Chains A and B, each alone.
Chain A
């Protein structure tokens, strides 16, 4: 463990656990996230990666660019496998950070049950969801994390239906319902916030969950140079909110000055290029509701002035459960 807690990018160690030689695309947001998470977690870490882009880019036999112990088995069992590793290491007197690095498909969808099991048992593990909003490894298919309107190969832009018709699943609300020791959402564009949250997650005991937005160049049809800018715009438009939950309470960790129109975010990505004004308005309205819920009604957002303010977003009993 480090001498003092890391809180800014300047405190980052330079001893990489995730080194060069992997096969990620240019501009891969996931690779940026994993490299820096592994830097902060350090060498006393044991990694589990389920089926995902990450396994393919980092563990093609006989090489790996991870310098820590590393296990892979299947797609849907991250919560379970890290449970087993932690139990074994505890019994053998090894106190390493056991971390599962899973994608959004492996977390929102096929891995949700194992995630819930591990969270409910309050296993002493760190679960990281690297969210690129689709099954990118298998060639860009829709997941529960794909945003409304987005093109994927299974939500094609057809003559009758254009893109995904459902809104992104609120995974953090599901995680929050398990009352985890720590949970936070991260952006690779807000780096001091990123460092603080990973450091906190590393040092806490019990079930910890980090949700990182990781732009995907081929899946989002974006320019490799825009990965960090997209992460920043996601927060400024309300497509992503930075917050954390500890001991049953939640708080936003970064508040944008003024909400930018979602089109600022959409226009940089080919996956949204077909969206008509009706669909964009639908998405904007959804974002406005989310924005007021997360940041409060005090600061009125000009972008949202055309929409009727609706409160509450959730049924009363859910509001009482948790913040998001």
Chain B
């Protein structure tokens, strides 16, 4: 094991290299570019034996990824924001064709009021595509999650693409100490990819066709089941990862000081670190505050959330994107998951367009949830950190 001080983008690139990725279609977009640059260097220096294919658009990146994955090799790519949106059309065929592509999405705001800074509206827009989606908290987790993503994706019970989402700039361009596993350790954890149905003239087969209503519905349901089966795979892979590397992240969610909590926040991405500190501060003041970290947006942790919120009076949900005038996407899904659980759920939108989520914002969120836990009326959705009179 080596320790390096690297950005999360580089950590992801190291993970893709350690996973012995065979084809890397790529197209540059900030803040993802460091990943494909680093992979191009690895390949040019002979440290990674892979085909680096510089495509002419992200749409072609995902098309090449599909061709290569259907051809039977391990494929990795990375994108952000507008790039992910340009891939949108191609994303939908990947899970249905059961192609275990792994892609890092470095979260960045999408659309007008354009910016290059973190917001989750790019990946949240793809949550109904059938891709599994995980969100990471720090650079080490970016590396570990990418390694786990290959194991989860290629497991025959799942055989689904996985999107590893990491915060633009806050992680992608910020260096931290990262433990790099040895190649032999990774080889033991992640065996050579064995494709189920590769395109091969020796065994001709048709992958994807025009499917009439008589058959299409069953195929969609099979995809639904595959995502369901991925739940047990995710938990197993986390356990296997701990055995191999000594680090564990929980399954679909992780919890922090939830045992006797009255109220809690649910966060994802880098806001989780800040929420941990806030919980510690509140606990030291005698408050029974807790934290749920959402690791996977897909599959969505329905059961896990119901269990984790047992005895809880109120749960605030952090969102780094907004479904305008409809709360945030995580909020609405958590509220739906907990509709039969007697817990008040509030929405908290912050950090939009890359704005810093400050300790004060997080304390404000907890303060609102604490009020809700005491039965006071609070706003269902609050935007934190707005400047000026906005109403």
A interface vs B, CB < 8 Å?
43-46, 48, 55-56, 59-62, 64, 66-74, 76-77, 79-92, 94, 96, 113-114, 116-117, 120-121
Contact = CB atoms under 8 A, between A and B. Distances in A.
Given A68-B201, A71-B207, A89-B199, A113 B68 contact: no
B63 A92 contact: no
Contact of A114 (B56, B65, B198, B208): B56
Given A71-B206, A85-B70, A89-B72, 6 more contacts: A60-B212, A69-B203, A73-B208, A84-B53, A87-B23, A117-B60
B210 A60 contact: yes
A88 B64 CA distance: 10
B68 A84 contact: yes
B189 to A, nearest CB: 22
A48 B204 contact: no
Interface residues of B, number: 43
A46 B56 CA distance: 23
A52 B6 CA distance: 47
B67 A70 contact: no
Nearest to B207: A71
Contacts of A83: 25, 53, 55, 60, 64, 67
Given A64-B209, A80-B67, A73 B90 contact: yes
Interface string B65-95: 1111111110100000000000001100100
Nearest to A78: B63
A172 B280 CA distance: 68
A73 B206 contact: no
B209 A77 contact: no
Nearest to B214: A61
A87 B206 contact: no
A61 B93 contact: no
Contacts of B270: none
Contacts of A73: 63, 66, 90, 93, 97, 208
Contacts of B68: 84-85, 87-88
Contacts of A121: 53-54
- Secondary structure of the A contact surface, majority rule: mixed
Contacts of A44: 201
A82 B64 CA distance: 7
A60 B212 CA distance: 8
Interface of B: 22-23, 25, 51, 53-57, 59-61, 63-73, 75, 89-90, 93, 97, 198-201, 203-212, 215
B22 A76 contact: no
Contacts of B199: 46, 69, 71, 85, 88-89
A85 B67 CA distance: 4
A69 B63 CA distance: 17
Contact of B200 (A61, A67, A69): A69
Given A60-B209, A71-B207, A46 B201 contact: yes
Contacts of A55: 209-210
Given A80-B60, A114-B56, A69 B201 contact: yes
B275 to A, nearest CB: 41
Contacts of B198: 88, 92
Nearest to A72: B208
Contacts of B93: 73-74
B72 A59 contact: no
A85 B68 CA distance: 5
Nearest to A57: B210
Contacts of A88: 22-23, 67-73, 198-199
A239 to B, nearest CB: 31
Contact of A74 (B53, B54, B61, B63): B63
Given A70-B204, A88-B68, A79 B23 contact: no
27 contacts: A60-B212, A64-B206, A64-B209, A70-B206, A70-B207, A71-B67, A71-B206, A73-B63, A74-B89, A74-B90, A80-B25, A80-B59, A80-B63, A83-B55, A84-B53, A84-B67, A84-B75, A85-B67, A85-B199, A86-B71, A89-B200, A92-B73, A92-B200, A96-B201, A113-B60, A114-B63, A117-B55
A91 B64 CA distance: 14
